[in-house]
Each structure stands twice: as structure tokens, then as C-alpha cells.
Homo-oligomer: A and B are copies of this chain.
Amino acid sequence: MNTNEHRDNPEKVKLILEAAQKRFGAFGLMKTTMQEIASDLSMSKGILYYYFPDKEHLYKAVVEKEQNEFIKKFGKKLEKISDPEVMLSEYVEIRLSYFKTLINLNRLSFEASSNINNVLGDIWVEFRKKEVDIVKSILSKGKDQKVFKILDIDETASIFVDLLKGLRMVELHKKRIFYIDEDEYKVLKKKMKIFTELFIKGLKY
């Protein structure tokens, strides 16, 4: 949520975000227009612009929504699991599926993507902090239970998050656009699994 106007009518903002999320998810940022989102809602384009100054800011709000959903979804999962090894594996899997959602929400060329990053600003920095916090809490649990042997939890969590991001980037950079199909997703998922198993084994007593 970027602007004060959002407080006006949270229900309407919610509807707009849901419609935008669907459109961006199916067609990507570039091929979606504000008019289409308005039409999906039987709303005038003017109302859309009342809440969001442009498509990029609407996109930003959708990305933030997805980020919050990911954190919430993962928090719920975490409550049901007590084994830190399973937690870490689950985290990797949910994180990857979230990556796929976001990538396909974007579907931009790398060039176009660096423009939108100016609008997105620090939301990835904030998200990374939340990510590292999640991993830290899992590692701490593992340390407390004497499952993991870790000298520096902060450092280890940060490296783990970087390694996951790195693997995603390496796969994505083989391509010219930010898009990932089912087969590519499976390859990445397998790599993540093997890596996570090695990492967990590396952490263990």
C-alpha cells in the first residue's frame, strides 16, 4: 500500500489488487493495461487511477501483496512442523514456488526489468530481511535441538538465502526474459532439493 487514499476504501483496493494479480499473472506486466484491469472489475479507468498513479505502482502493490502472502503462508506451515530439517526443506520448496509466481507476474525482458526495479525500490531489501529472519529462526531451532552445529547463525542464514537466490539467478540468466516454464521449474526444483540436502548434511552434528 503506497498512498493514503488506500485507507479510503480497503475493500475496493483489495478487489483491484486481486484483479491486477490475476492479469499480471496470466499476461505479465508489459502486456497488461490499466483499462483491462478496470474492465475486469466493471470499473472506470479513472477509479483505478484514483487509487494507483500508474501501472507500475499497482504492480508494486501486487508484488508486496505476494510477498506478504508468502511470509504468512510460510509462517502457518512452520507452526505445524517441529523438525528443523523438514522446516528448511519446506522453506526452500515454498520459496521456489513463490519465485515462479513472481517471475511469471513480471515476464519482462532484463532491460525492461531494470526500469521497473526503480519503482519497486527497497521492497526486495525488506523482503530479504524477512527471509533471512525465517531461515535464522529455523537454524536456531536446529541449534537448540542439537541437530545443527552452527557457529554463526546470522552468517549461515545469509549465505543460505544467497545460495538459493544464486541458483535461481543462474537458471534465469540462461534466458533473455524473466519467465520460467514447467520443465525449467522442475530442473530448478531438483537442483534446490539436492543442494538443500547437502546443506543440511553439512550443518549436522
Q: How far is the CA of A167 from the CA of B159 in the complex (A)?
A: 8
Q: How far is the CA of A162 from the CA of B156 in the complex (A)?
A: 19
Q: How far is the CA of A169 from the CA of B173 in the complex (A)?
A: 10
CB atoms of B194 and A203 under 8 A apart: no
For chain A, residues 158 to 174, give those with C-beta under 8 angstroms from any C-beta of chain B: 159, 162-163, 165-171, 173
Beta-carbon nearest neighbor of A110 in chain B: B114
CB atoms of A166 and B170 under 8 A apart: yes
A195 adjacent to chain B (CB < 8 Å):
yes
Beta-carbon nearest neighbor of A156 in chain B: B194
Copies of this chain, whole number:
2
Q: How far is the CA of A77 from the CA of B4 in the complex (A)?
A: 62
Residue-wise, chain A 169-192 has the 8 Å CB interface mask toward B (1 for contact) of: 111010000000000000000010
What residues of B have a CB within 8 angstroms of the CB of A171 in the complex? 162
A201 adjacent to chain B (CB < 8 Å):
yes
CB atoms of A165 and B162 under 8 A apart: no
Q: How far is the CA of A86 from the CA of B156 in the complex (A)?
A: 21
Q: Of A162, A171, A198, A201, which is in contact with the most chain B CB atoms at under 10 Å from its CB?
A: A198
What residues of B have a CB within 8 angstroms of the CB of A159 in the complex? 167, 191, 194-195
Residue-wise, chain A 193-205 has the 8 Å CB interface mask toward B (1 for contact) of: 0110111111100
Contact of A202 among B165, B166, B169, B198 (CB under 8 A): B198
Beta-carbon nearest neighbor of A204 in chain B: B201
A200 to chain B, nearest CB (A): 8
**Which residues from chain A sit less than 8 Å from chain B, CB to CB?**
110-111, 114, 155-156, 159, 162-163, 165-171, 173, 191, 194-195, 197-203
Please name 4 further chain A to chain B contacts, defined as beta carbons within 8 Å, in addition to the given A156-B198, A165-B170, A166-B166, sorted by A numbering.
Answer: A155-B194, A162-B170, A163-B195, A166-B168
